[in-house]
Amino acid sequence: MPTGLAIFFGLVVVYGAVAVWLGRFSITMPIIFVAVGALMGRQGLVAAKDAELLVEMTLALLLFADASTLDFRRVPTTRGCRPACY
């Protein structure tokens, strides 16, 4: 397994363990990923090919996490557009 993926999966596990505690300080998963990415990029721990995969996986995870908190009752309906249009 490439180093970048191992770091990514380790970061997800660690964040999952301390997410509630970090939430008290308004530190979210995107903030953690940006900080770790900045540190990894400076030290060259991740090759460009691995970085692309890492970014795609991170984006997919963040979009899924954000979509899972959507409250459909609060989504406004647009005239002439069914909910499938959103």
The per-residue pLDDT for range 4-56, each reduced to its tens digit, is 678 778 888 888 899 889 888 888 877 887 787 777 766 666 666 767 777 78
| pLDDT value of residue 16 | 86
The per-residue pLDDT for range 29-40, each reduced to its tens digit, is 778 877 877 777
Which residue do the tokens 């397994």 mark?
1
**pTM, to two decimals:** 0.49
